[in-house]
Amino acid sequence: MSGRRISSQPTAANASSAPGSTVRIGVLASVIGFNLRMAQDASFRAFAKHAGLDHLKPGRYAAMTIIRDNPGIAQGEVGRAIGRDKSTVTPLIQDLQRQGFIVREASSTDRRRVTLRLTRAGDAALTSLSRRARDHERKLDAIVGDQKTAFVALLKKIATEIS
Amino acid sequence: MSGRRISSQPTAANASSAPGSTVRIGVLASVIGFNLRMAQDASFRAFAKHAGLDHLKPGRYAAMTIIRDNPGIAQGEVGRAIGRDKSTVTPLIQDLQRQGFIVREASSTDRRRVTLRLTRAGDAALTSLSRRARDHERKLDAIVGDQKTAFVALLKKIATEIS
DNA sequence: TATTGTTATACTCTATAACTATA
DNA sequence: TATAGTTATAGAGTATAACAATA
């Protein structure tokens, strides 16, 4: 571990950057977009590291939760819920099916639709994954503390209102 | 535009999901990790859309800002500042050089190190990109409002403390 | 005509590992 | 031995466009 530390403390107008000194991230320090990215990245990595994603990758968790909570949901609707194109959802769903976690069934009323529901194995896998997700979320809760409600409200607001 | 709306309102114990109804995202609604991802994703897409990233992709902005604020910084240090491996930074830097936005120079004191600084063209490009980034940040500011300080502090805290 | 889902394809971002050169 | 950077390579995730089936 060498090199400079990472800091948002802008040192004075010292011209050139020497090894061992501190990186000035400058205006980036207070930019919401940048910090959003760093936080999401760190959170994602921590989750992936602890969740042992051998046969259940992080994106799957949201999809499976949505399918569990909305049995009979169509693929496209899963995509809209997680903000992904249908062409992104197709392989994801196929993967879950290959692992025996979901069953796909053509809708009887609209044969274009493929309805989804968890199998018992899928439910068990989700339960196990949820346990690890809960550990991760607990860490986040500890970091965010009593501001969680306001914090999550702002994240939601960004997701829906930014354009 | 069809299908159900996305909502966090869990309807009662109605079993099966019908088209046109509302997707229950259930527990996901209050999960920090999920909302972090949705917010970051939406923010990133909006920025990319408006910034006209023809020859200056989003990751570049942070790197160039750091180089501008730390002339003579080494590649590896840029990587640490943005949380990326050196093998990820190399092509990014090469790309910036190919576009004439930065110059690379071997350090005189340690010839392994490649020091970086913006060219005049790079500075101009960064200025122009900054203008668009500022527009984007202004939108985020408007969404976040007077809670910005606390909000950014929490994002930073997540980025540094999650494990 | 519009929508659901699939496929082919391509692009971006990322890391691991092996390497060179320097320290 | 350790570090800075490069390269080869591979994998995740994503989208666009063209398509078939169905509405």
> What CATH number corresponds to the domain at position B124?
1.10.10.10
pLDDT in the model for residue A110: 96
pLDDT in the model for residue A6: 56
pLDDT in the model for residue A3: 45
Q: Which residue is nearest to nucleotide D17 (CA to C1')?
A: A87
Domains of chain B: total: 2
Q: Where are the alpha helices (DSSP H) in chain A?
A: 32-51, 58-69, 75-82, 86-98, 120-144, 148-161
pLDDT in the model for residue B54: 59
Nucleotide nearest A76 (Cα, C1'): C4
Do B45 and B21 reside in the same domain of the chain?
no
Would you write out chain A's pLDDT as a tens digit for each of its 163 residues?
344 555 544 333 334 555 556 788 878 888 999 999 999 999 999 988 887 655 566 678 899 999 999 999 999 999 999 999 999 999 999 999 999 999 999 999 999 999 999 999 999 999 988 888 899 999 999 999 999 999 999 999 999 999 8
Do A5 and A60 reside in the same domain of the chain?
no
Tell me how far apart the alpha carbons of residues B144 and A122 are, in angstroms, rounded to a whole number. 38
Calculate the angstrom distance between C1' of C14 and CA of A45. 12
The 3 state secondary structure assigned to B105-156 is EECCCCCCCEEEEECHHHHHHHHHHHHHHHHHHHHHHHHHHHHHHHHHHHHH
For strand B23-24 and strand B6-7, is the pairing parallel, antiparallel, or unpaired? Answer: parallel
Q: Which residues of A touch B7 (CB under 8 A)?
A: none
Tell me how far apart the alpha carbons of residues A25 and A48 are, in angstroms, rounded to a whole number. 27
Tell me how far apart the alpha carbons of residues B91 and A11 are, in angstroms, rounded to a whole number. 29
pLDDT in the model for residue A15: 43
Nucleotides of chain D touched by protein CB (<7 A): 3-8, 12-18, 21-23
Q: Extract the tokens encoding A135.
A: 């550990």
Shortest alpha-carbon distance between residue B32 and chain A (Å) = 6
Do B64 and B143 reside in the same domain of the chain?
yes
Tell me how far apart the alpha carbons of residues B113 and B135 are, in angstroms, rounded to a whole number. 36
Tell me how far apart the alpha carbons of residues A37 and B40 are, in angstroms, rounded to a whole number. 6
Do B18 and B85 reside in the same domain of the chain?
no
Do A62 and A11 reside in the same domain of the chain?
no
pLDDT in the model for residue B50: 81
Do A57 and A127 reside in the same domain of the chain?
yes
pLDDT in the model for residue B43: 94
Do B78 and B17 reside in the same domain of the chain?
no
Nucleotide nearest A112 (Cα, C1'): C4
Residues with pLDDT less than 50, chain B: 1-3, 9-15
For residue B52, is it left (φ>0), alpha (ψ between -120 and 50) or beta?
A: left
Do B75 and B87 reside in the same domain of the chain?
yes
Do B56 and B13 reside in the same domain of the chain?
no
The verdict on pTM exceeding 0.85 is yes
Tell me how far apart the alpha carbons of residues A59 and A65 are, in angstroms, rounded to a whole number. 10
